[in-house]
Amino acid sequence: MNAAPMLELRDITRRFEKKLDFAGRIAQRLGAPVREEVVHAVDRVNLTVRKGEVVGLVGESGCGKSTLGRMVAGILPPTEGTILRDGRDIKALTGAEARQMKLRTQMIFQDPYASLNPRMRVQDIVGEAPRVHGLLDGAAFDDYVDEQMRRAGLDPTFKRRYPHQFSGGQRQRIGIARALAVKPDFIVCDEAVAALDVSIQAQILNLFMRLRRELDLTYLFISHDLGVVEHLSDRVVIMYLGRVVEEADTETVFRRPNHPYTRSLLDSVPRIENRKRAFSVVKGEIPSPINPPAGCHFHPRCPLATERCRVEVPKLREVAPGQRSACHLNDQ
């Protein structure tokens, strides 16, 4: 428990400049007050993930979950901040060490079809990366691919087929086999079951849980589905417009949420146990991340907002052991 955490994000920020389109550039040249817009997709996020944990990351669309996940997976550089892997700054790594470190984190996406090359056979989709990175020698290729496929619940006799010859759930299994083939110890799942039917979703979630046990994996599990997150995660992180607003172990988040946004979110989720009842409602729309409200981003929708919330950004701080929340109400 005293070893360095598997992953540590320190004040990670990611901005995107939204370049002006053609019409915008003309307008600007003619003196119109248009400017290139900046999206704060992720705004000074701190996060620690310990070995073997499943951390659920939830929030509404555009709040920065995927951007954060891509930075963790090393496929998108942060604009600011530090990412530590096993206590080491990944920016300081070079050469073979950097490549190796990158392989240790793999990402699994929502749309398994879009992320699989349609012209490659499954055996190459799964086996290519380990071969390129010298994780196996030529003779072992077939056996290795078979093992990866079997582990993901795919019949190896189908390894010469192409992605379109598989169902959605099977394609997600191919994506999983591909990710695990390079022997990662950390997996970022980005809405990995969102596109799947309920019965298939259960199969894939079970596969994730089994693989976690068998391979000692650590997950960052991104999902907008609170039911799925509650079932799978040890700890839950809630984001709103680029910032973490609450973080606690799963039980606490669902039983004793602190942040008003967390509570609103939980109230909005339809549950199969709730019959024919009035849906509770959070007022207002999700604001644009291009021009987010000042102070607490949630203040225009928050039933408890005060004057202070409009001007001062609340700090994320401990409100109970293991529970952090970013709301001014905790100061009273």
Site for Mg ion contains 66 (CB under 5 A): yes
Site for ligand SF4 contains 221 (CB under 6 A): no
Contact letters for another protein, residues 306-325 (x by CB under 8 A): --------------------
Task: State in angstroms the smallest separation of the CB of 267 from Mg ion.
Answer: 23
- Please, which residue, 41 or 145, has the CB nearer to Mg ion? 41
Using alpha carbons, list the distances in angstroms from residue 199 to 3, 110, 167, 196, 205: 39, 16, 13, 8, 10
Site for ligand SF4 contains 329 (CB under 6 A): yes
Task: State in angstroms the smallest separation of the CB of 253 from ligand SF4.
Answer: 15
Q: What angle do CA 275, 266, 322 make, to 5 degrees?
A: 140
- Please, which residue, 41 or 265, has the CB nearer to ligand ADP? 41
| Extended beta strands in the chain, E state | 7-18, 37-49, 54-58, 80-85, 88-89, 105-108, 186-190, 218-222, 235-240, 243-249, 317-320, 323-325
CB atoms within 10 A of CB 7: 23
- Residue 154, judged by CB atoms within 10 A of its CB (0-12, 13-18, 19+), counts as buried
CB atoms within 10 A of CB 82: 14
Instruction: List the one residue from 276, 303, 307, 331 that touches another protein (CB under 8 A).
Output: 276
d(CA 107, CA 42): 18
Dmax over CA atoms of the chain, in Å, equals: 69
- For 80-127, the DSSP string reads EEEEEETTEEGGG--HHHHHHHHHTEEEE-S-TTTTS-TTS-HHHHHH
Task: State in angstroms the smallest separation of the CB of 221 from Mg ion.
Answer: 13
Contact letters for ligand ADP, residues 281-320 (x by CB under 6 A): --------x-------------------------------
Number of residues that bind ligand SF4 (CB under 6 A): 14
Residue 268's binding partner out of Mg ion, ligand ADP, another protein, none, with CB under 5 to 8 Å set by partner kind: another protein
- Please, which residue, 147 or 230, has the CB nearer to another protein? 230
- Please, which residue, 52 or 287, has the CB nearer to ligand ADP? 287
d(CA 270, CA 108): 26
Site for ligand ADP contains 61 (CB under 6 A): yes
Site for ligand SF4 contains 84 (CB under 6 A): no
- Please, which residue, 66 or 233, has the CB nearer to Mg ion? 66
Site for another protein contains 164 (CB under 8 A): no
- Please, which residue, 167 or 306, has the CB nearer to another protein? 167
Using alpha carbons, list the distances in angstroms from residue 263 to 61, 201, 267, 282: 17, 26, 6, 10
Site for ligand SF4 contains 299 (CB under 6 A): yes
Give residue 7's identity as a one-letter amino acid code.
L
Q: What angle do CA 263, 266, 271 make, to 5 degrees?
A: 155
| Residues of this chain, 261-280, that bind ligand SF4 according to CB under 6 A | 261
Site for Mg ion contains 115 (CB under 5 A): no
Instruction: List the one residue from 314, 316, 319, 324 that touches ligand SF4 (CB under 6 A).
Output: 314
Task: Tokens for 23, please give them.
Answer: 């019409």
d(CA 122, CA 102): 23
Q: Which residues bind Mg ion (CB under 5 A)?
A: 66
Q: Which residues bind ligand ADP (CB under 6 A)?
A: 16, 18, 39, 41, 59, 61-67, 289
Q: Which residues bind another protein (CB under 8 A)?
A: 60-61, 167, 169-170, 197-203, 205-206, 209-210, 224, 226-228, 230-232, 250, 264-265, 267-283, 285-286
